[in-house]
Amino acid sequence: MSGVIYDRVALIGLGLIASSMYWAIKRAGLAGEVTGYARSQETRGTARRIGLCDRVCDSVAEAVKDADLVVLAVPVGAMEEVARAIGPHLKPGATVTDVGSVKRAVIQSVAPHLPDGVHFVPGHPLAGTEHSGPESGFAELFEDRWCMLVPVDNTDEAAIARLKSLWQGFGSNVEIMDSDHHDLVLAVTSHAPHLIAYTMVGVADDLRRVTDREVVQYSAAGFRDFTRIAASDPTMWRDVFLNNRDATLEILGRFTEELFALQRAIRRGDGDHLHDYFTRTRAIRRSIIEAGQDTDAPDFGRKKTPR
Ligand SMILES: NC(=O)c1ccc[n+]([C@@H]2O[C@H](COP(=O)([O-])OP(=O)(O)OC[C@H]3O[C@@H](n4cnc5c(N)ncnc54)[C@H](O)[C@@H]3O)[C@@H](O)[C@H]2O)c1
Ligand SMILES: O=C(O)C(=O)C[C@]1(C(=O)O)C=C[C@@H](O)C=C1
């Protein structure tokens, strides 16, 4: 897929996702000019130094002026503040999207600040790494990954189709989903697993073992993956849990019940229970691989490729 889809794109928040979008846009020539804005002067300075964005602006108003697409790529808890700031400066007919990991709370906080005549098409790429900031992005991040679009009622179909073609231009598969379903699915596949990884690394740290030379040197693959995930940005993940509270608590409740059952089986020496359980989970992994959905594992820790 190639060809200009938007004449002007504004990226607000110049971290992992926005910088990856910029490099992916440039690689495929999907936009004319791309402007960028980040809150801190330091981030804007870094962006200028590494050539991230065609023009880095010192105000959010300047960045979104005349933009056909505005991408909100800030932590979920900062979305409302940014939406309030850009609202009065948006071009009529522009599309606003976001890349937040939670959808219902973002829609509730952003939509009221957007003027009539502006299309709001919330989104969420299911792709990331444990790294953050303007220097962490790379053009291939979204390749062969899913991007969820979560349009609100009566959204202009042409605006949705245009944004869909941008994500397809990044090499992503696009799925349309409603916000509550999105938040429940992500609580299972992303949010609860992150909390479990944070907890496991915290437990090891409480035992004062996590930085022991032996633990680092001989750490098993499972624990290494936990430490990678637990190195993810604290602000981003604080906001995810505060804003997807109900779905995450629902899944963690179920998780705790299963964990107790496994704990009891271990205490009682109930090998059949453990074996049956692990047989069921192994079958799930195999069905994912057979369905060709195993895009994650080989990419863990993959290196940034040249832009
Ligand atoms: N990291 C991931 O794996 C991942 C994956 C998919 C979606 N997301 C979502 O994408 C969004 C961005 O995540 P990221 O990983 O790119 O984060 P990041 O920490 O790399 O970048 C966030 C950027 O937003 C800026 N920022 C923070 N508050 C701001 C404000 N009020 N105004 C302007 N700029 C502000 C920060 O300075 C930073 O440059 C989040 O909502 C996150 O939930 C992240
Ligand atoms: O690979 C990683 O580092 C990620 O955690 C990426 C991941 C995920 O859970 O899959 C994290 C949060 C997002 O909202 C989407 C993707």
Instruction: Give the pLDDT score at 85.
Output: 98
Ligand nearest to the CA of 193: 2
- Name residues whose C-beta falls within 8 Å of residue 189's C-beta, 6 or more positions apart in sequence: none
pLDDT tens for each residue of 68-124: 999 999 999 999 999 999 999 999 999 999 999 999 999 999 999 999 999 999 999
Q: Locate 235 and state its tokens.
A: 């602000």
More confident residue, 208 or 156: 156
265/262 Cα distance (integer angstroms): 5
Provide the pLDDT for residue 300. Answer: 33
CA distance 269 to 265: 6
How crowded is residue 138: how many other Cβ atoms within 10 Å of its Cβ? 20
User: Is 37 in contact with 60 (CB distance < 8 Å)?
Assistant: yes
* Average pLDDT for 290-295: 69
Task: State residue 136's pLDDT score.
Answer: 97
pLDDT for 297: 46
Helix ranges restricted to H, the chain: 16-28, 41-50, 60-64, 79-86, 104-110, 157-169, 179-186, 192-206, 213-218, 221-229, 234-243, 245-268, 271-290
> Do the beta carbons of residue 177 and residue 183 sit within 8 Å?
no
Of 40-49, 51-60, 293-302, the range with the lowest mean pLDDT is 293-302
pLDDT at 302 over 50: no
**In this structure, which topology does domain 6-177 adopt according to CATH?**
Rossmann fold (3.40.50)
CB 33 near ligand 2, within 6 Å: no
CA distance 270 to 268: 5
With the C-alpha atoms ordered 274, 277, 282, 285, is the resulting torsion angle positive or negative? negative
pLDDT at 250 (0 to 100): 96
Quote the pLDDT of residue 304.
Answer: 42
Average pLDDT of the chain is 92
pTM: 0.92
pLDDT of residue 301: 33
CA atoms within 13 A on the CB side of 201: 18
**Among 20, 102, 126, which is best to mutate for testing ligand 2, by the most ligand atoms less than 8 A from CB?**
126
CATH 1.10.340.30 describes domain 181-269: no
Q: Is the pLDDT of residue 144 over 70?
A: yes
Paired strand residues for 124: 148
Tokens standing for residue 7: 């004449």
* pLDDT, position 299: 38
Which pLDDT does position 307 carry in this prediction? 42
**pLDDT (tens digit per residue) in 191-236:** 999 999 999 888 877 777 666 666 666 676 778 889 899 999 999 9
Q: What is the pLDDT of residue 303?
A: 35
Could you read off the pLDDT of 230-270 as tens digits, one per residue?
A: 999 999 999 999 999 999 999 999 999 999 999 999 999 99
At 72 the pLDDT is 98
At 2, is the pLDDT very low, low, confident or very high (cuts 50, 70, 90)? low
pLDDT score at 215: 66
**Would you say residue 165 has pLDDT above 90?**
yes
pLDDT value of position 202: 87
Q: Which atom of ligand 2 lies closest to the CA of 193?
A: 9
Q: Which ligand is nearest to the CA of 136?
A: 1
Task: Write the DSSP symbol of residue 9.
Answer: E
**36 in contact with ligand 1, CB cutoff 6 A:** no
Q: What is the pLDDT of residue 199?
A: 93
Answer yes or no: are the C-beta atoms of 103 and 179 closer than 8 Å: yes
3-state SS class at 95: strand
Q: Is 130 in the pocket of ligand 2 (CB under 6 A)?
A: yes
Q: Which atom of ligand 2 is nearest to the CA of 296?
A: 1
* φ and ψ of 293, to 5 deg: -100, 5
Among the residue ranges 3-12, 226-235, 282-291, the one predicted with the least confidence is: 282-291
Q: What ligand 2 atom has the least distance to the C-alpha of 191?
A: 9
Domain boundaries, the chain: 6-177, 181-269
232 or 297, higher pLDDT: 232
CA distance 297 to 23: 23
| CA 172/CA 77 separation, integer angstroms | 26
pLDDT at 224: 84
